[in-house]
Chain A
Amino acid sequence: MSLVEPAQLLPARQQMAFTLMFHIILVPLGVALPTMMLIANYKGLRHCDSVALTLARRWSHVAGLTFAVGAASGTVLSFEMGLLWPGLTGRFGEVFGLPFAIEGVAFFLEAILVAVYIYGWRRMRPWTHFWLGVPIPFIAFGGAFSIISANAWMNMPAGFTLDSAGRPVDIDPAAAILNKALPYELAHFMLAAYMACGFTVASVYAVGWLRGRRDRYHRLGILIPFTIAAVLTPVQFVVGDRVAVAIFSDQPAKFAAMEVVTTSGSNQPEIIFGRYDSATNTVTGGIRIPGLDSWLAGGSTDTYVKGLDSFPAADRPPNVNIVHWAFDIMVGIGTLLIGLALWFAIAYWRRRDVPRSRLFLWCAAAAGFLTYVALEAGWIVTEVGRQPWVVYNILRTEDAVTPAEGVWVSFIAVIVLYLVLGAGTVAALRAMSRRWRRSDRTVDADAVYGPRPAVVPEAGSGDAPAGESEVTR
């Protein structure tokens, strides 16, 4: 490591982290919400269930808004790949750029079909409308596949060799796309996205239920998304364990930071929280469970685990505490969610209904937020844990950063604008919810599928502010 790190490195990393963490909030809603809205749509059409149809319509409306915001923040990310990291995209773009091109097309298709679905309510025949929506979750999966493939490549670079000048040669795009980290990162992320979306959507209706709005609308609003998330939670537990084992062998430095393994050896204790001191390479505080870390990594307490001491200081993750705490927070929340899923399963098995206890509903209301915390923590583990490398063992982050002046300025501008964007999005979502609640008090006279209303109101004619109970022409 050079003694003087580039001046733009810190703001560039901060800006990338900030915009990524913002974007990740929207991703589960783009990936998983379409599935839930289609399930509700199907249920509604199949059983002539107007409550389910109302849910589907409203979820599609939310998905449309978050998709629009996600499109903008995704565009910013693609700009940033070049603006902040020209050393990465300029040099390795030809190796790992293709998944982004795939994602570009997937995103395009999703944008088109989401637009058709959202603006097609009432105007198309019901089943045509439903079937036009069906490809959306699959396309969204394709998009997630591509982006995760690119990220996994940064963790487990493949599909090229470096020549003596450090340029990539013998490029094999297929090997780069289907790199070693892809299967476990993708499985882990897709499950996380469905869990985050499911628990979050359910939490909205759990809050409504706690406030006394106990009707079928709220019951279904909890039941559909919560069931999906609860079923996936134990699966995620197993997958997460496999991911940790894979990282143990693929990225030992990251594993050592996640579990704060200071000194190499067998019979490593699992340390929960605690404070790592990089000067002395020791951990103070925290709860120690003897031998558990070795056992988790290799199935036996005799497993030899590489510690941070086995890496040169320049190759150790610089923020071990952040990585370790993020990892423990993620695992901790995952464990709590398992308990909640179990509670739900038992209650549903006994009474075929959402548990009525207020404690459960309070937990369900918190689960959405907690899952998001876990999701963000997981990204922190994978991104901060890979440092000081942007491409693991190939390219250091400091060598990829832009030499351009002014990243601090752009970072501040980005923070301000994203606050406006975030506030606007939240305000819009709250406005929707208020409006829908108001309309639920009046009788909803609209047929879900019906004749078309006029688009441009003519002055003085048909200008009635009808909205929810609009009488169609």
Chain B
Amino acid sequence: MSTATAVAGVMVIAITLYACSGLADYGAGLWDLTAGGRERGRRPRALIDAAITPVWEANHVWLIYLIILCWTAFGAAFAPIMTTLFIPLALAALGIVLRAAGFAMRKEAARARARHLAGWLFGIGSILTPFCLGAVLGAIMAGRVPAGATGDEISSWWNATSIVFGLVAVSIGAFAAAVYLIAESRRRGAPHLHGYFRTRAFVSGGAALVLGVAGLIALRADQRQMFDRVVERGWPLLLLSAVALAGAFLLAARGMVRGLRLVAAAGIAALIWAWAVAQYPYLLPFSLTVDAGAAAGVTLDWILVWFAVALLLVIPALALLYVLDQKGDLAEDPATSLPSHDEATG
């Protein structure tokens, strides 16, 4: 295995981690947006808020890491992706700003109207960003980003494949979020929300399945070569993904929380790896390979060494965060924060 392939593997790992954690944060934003009126949505919103507040920034850093890794290791692919897909990537960045604005405002907004607006910003950003990132992936897979040139700025991502991929990203995020929130509701002693999120897991899981099949059909019509690769090389992983997601489905339905999150995350991870395996060895199908697009060997070596160091540093810290969070050692400080959602309006 060449160093370039190893670095590409690191990138796929980062994408996987982002999809399993960050995508679920976006999904939580979607459930927050659709939780209904102030009174009706109060309890699910409080749970969503308590669940994602301590971890959402950490989850989010994978995206930054991914972008940086891409331009350092694969500048030859990074520049055409960023140029051709300027519009969806700019929209994804704007969605991130919307989320942050919503987050910053709603945490402190004492008035209901301001909090309502903040919730909207947060929710819209939570749909816009995963949709755009999914569309970007679809455009790359369908070979619409040519190496060393600029593809069409609109049709590269505004086409059936990309749009369906964008919707798949949104629905998978929503599914993962719902599944994680079932576990959270159990852990935080809010059993009344158990059924609430189970229904949502079913709806979004069903939507993800239908959209996933639609995505494959669109890809087949659009870029047959890639479709064949996905099916021929990726089928074991697609199967694994379907089994894991269905397993998460069943566990959730039976009210079994143990391992639920891991199974759901495994399902998402398998999906990402099915894509990676199908696309290998191409960075940009079918015009640029990993080896041809890679940076100088010394830079790649440094990236791998730094990745090892990063794992040694980040994994213990991340483990600390998740363990403390799950132990209940992390929560809003009642002396400096607003007490909780809609109570303060009184």
Contact = CB atoms under 8 A, between A and B. Distances in A.
State the majority secondary structure of interface residues on B: helix
Given A86-B79, A89-B78, A404-B86, A420 B101 contact: yes
A413 B128 CA distance: 14
Interface string A438-449: 010000101010
A459 interface: yes
26 contacts: A57-B333, A60-B336, A65-B108, A71-B60, A72-B99, A78-B64, A79-B90, A82-B79, A86-B80, A90-B71, A90-B75, A90-B79, A93-B73, A94-B299, A107-B64, A112-B321, A122-B335, A410-B94, A414-B94, A421-B104, A427-B105, A431-B109, A452-B328, A453-B331, A467-B339, A468-B335
**Residue from A108, A121, A123 having most chain B Cβ neighbours under 10 A:** A108
Q: Nearest 5 pairs between A and B by C-beta?
A: A90-B79, A97-B72, A72-B100, A94-B295, A82-B82
A405 B321 contact: no
Contacts of B107: 65, 428
Contacts of A94: 72-73, 75, 295-296, 299
Contacts of B70: 82
Interface stretch (A169-177, A283-291, A314-322): A169-177
A342 interface: no
Interface string B37-60: 000000100110010011101101
Contacts of B331: 119, 123, 452-453, 455
B203 interface: no
Contacts of B94: 410, 413-414, 417
A240 interface: no
B272 to A, nearest CB: 20
Given A61-B336, A446-B334, A455-B50, A417 B101 contact: yes
A394 interface: no
A95 B303 CA distance: 12
B84 to A, nearest CB: 8
Interface stretch (A98-106, A191-199, A246-254): A98-106
B5 to A, nearest CB: 16
Nearest to A109: B317
A431 B47 contact: no
B79 A89 contact: yes
Contacts of A101: 65, 68-69, 72, 303, 306
A76 B90 CA distance: 9
A183 interface: no
A105 B310 contact: yes
A403 B121 CA distance: 31
Interface residues of B, number: 92
Nearest to B111: A431
A427 B109 contact: yes
Contact of B339 (A115, A425, A470): A470
B11 to A, nearest CB: 11
Given A82-B82, A109-B314, A456 B46 contact: yes
B75 A89 contact: yes
Interface of A: 57-58, 60-61, 65, 67-69, 71-76, 78-83, 86-87, 89-95, 97-98, 100-105, 107-109, 111-116, 118-124, 168-169, 171-173, 402-406, 410, 413-414, 417-418, 420-421, 424-425, 427-429, 431-432, 435-436, 439, 444, 446, 448, 452-453, 455-459, 463, 465-468, 470
Interface of B: 43, 46-47, 50, 53-55, 57-58, 60-61, 63-65, 67-73, 75-76, 78-84, 86-87, 89-90, 92-94, 96-105, 107-110, 114, 118, 121, 150, 153, 188-190, 295-296, 298-299, 302-303, 306, 309-310, 313-314, 317-318, 320-321, 324-325, 328-340, 343-344, 346
Contacts of B60: 71, 75, 111
Contact of A402 (B86, B109, B329): B86
Given A82-B82, A120-B324, A115 B57 contact: yes
A68 B100 contact: yes
Nearest to A97: B72
Contacts of B81: 82
Contacts of A75: 60, 63-64, 93, 96
A417 B68 contact: no
A78 B70 CA distance: 11
A404 B109 contact: no
A112 B58 contact: yes
Contact of B61 (A83, A90, A108, A458): A108
Contacts of B72: 93-94, 97-98, 100-101
Contacts of A446: 334-335
A129 B328 CA distance: 14
Given A83-B93, A86-B79, A112 B318 contact: yes
A173 B302 contact: yes
A123 B46 CA distance: 20
Among A80, A109, A405, residue most surrounded by chain B Cβ atoms (within 10 Å): A109
Contacts of B344: 465, 467
B46 A173 contact: no
Nearest to A418: B97
Nearest to B65: A104
A58 B336 contact: yes
Given A89-B82, A173-B299, A421-B104, 5 more contacts: A60-B336, A71-B61, A76-B93, A94-B299, A465-B344
Contacts of B332: 119
Nearest to A170: B296
A119 B53 contact: yes
A94 B101 CA distance: 33
